[in-house]
Amino acid sequence: MTPLLSVNGITKTYGTHIGCADVSFDLYPGEVMGIVGESGSGKSTLLNCMAGHLVPDAGEVVFDTRADGPKDTVTMSEPERRMLSRTDWAFVHQHARDGLRMGVSAGGNVGERLMAVGERNYGDIRDKATDWLERVEISSDRVDDRPTTFSGGMQQRLQIARNLVTGPRLVFMDEPTGGLDVSVQARLLDLLRGLVRDMGLSAIIVTHDLAVVRLLADRLMVMKSGRVVEAGLTDQVLDDPQHVYSQLLVSSVLQV
Amino acid sequence: MIELKDVSKTFTLHNQNSAVIEVINDVSLSVAKGECVALTGASGAGKSTLMRMIYGNYMTQAGEILIGNVDLVQAEPRDIIALRRDVLGYVSQFLRVVPRVPTLDVVAEPLRSVGVSSAEAEARAKELLSQLNIPERLWSLSPTTFSGGEQQRVNIARGFAHAYPAMLLDEPTASLDAANREVVLSLIEQAKVRGAAIIGIFHDEAARDRVCDREIDVSRFTPVAA
The full DSSP string for A144-176 is TS-GGGS-HHHHHHHHHHHHHTT--SEEEEEST
Residue of B nearest to A27 (CA): B78
CA distance A142 to A161: 14
Between chain A and chain B, how many beta carbons pairs sit less than 8 Å apart?
54
Nearest to A233 among B15, B56, B113 (CB): B56
Closest C-alpha to B95, from B111, B106, B82:
B106
Residue of A189, A224, A233 to mutate for B, most B C-beta atoms under 10 A: A233
pLDDT at position A86 is 87
Residuewise pLDDT in 10s, chain B (226 residues): 999 999 999 999 988 888 898 888 999 999 999 999 999 998 888 899 999 999 999 999 999 999 998 999 999 999 999 999 999 999 988 888 877 889 999 999 999 989 899 999 999 999 999 999 999 999 999 998 899 889 999 999 999 999 999 999 999 998 899 999 999 999 999 999 999 999 999 988 999 999 999 999 998 888 765 4
**Helix locations, B95-203, DSSP H:** 103-113, 118-131, 148-161, 178-193
Asked if the C-beta of A97 comes within 8 angstroms of chain B's C-beta atoms, the answer is no
ipTM: 0.88
CA distance B221 to B29: 11
Q: What is the mean pLDDT of residues A128-148?
A: 92
Nearest to B99 among A31, A190, A243 (CB): A190
pLDDT at position B138 is 95
pLDDT at position B225 is 54
The backbone torsions φ and ψ at residue B80, rounded to the nearest 5 degrees and listed phi first, read -70, -40
CA distance B189 to A2: 41
Inspect the interface and report whether the beta carbons of A240 and B59 lie closer than 8 Å. yes
Residue of B nearest to A29 (CA): B78
For residue A219, list chain B residues with Cβ-Cβ distance below 8 A: 77-78
Residue of A235, A243, A253, A255 to mutate for B, most B C-beta atoms under 10 A: A235
| Helices B103-113/B118-131 angle, 10° precision | 130
Q: Map residue A92 onto helix, strand or coil.
A: strand
Inspect the interface and report whether the beta carbons of B98 and A248 lie closer than 8 Å. no
CA distance B39 to B47: 6
Inspect the interface and report whether the beta carbons of A242 and B57 lie closer than 8 Å. no
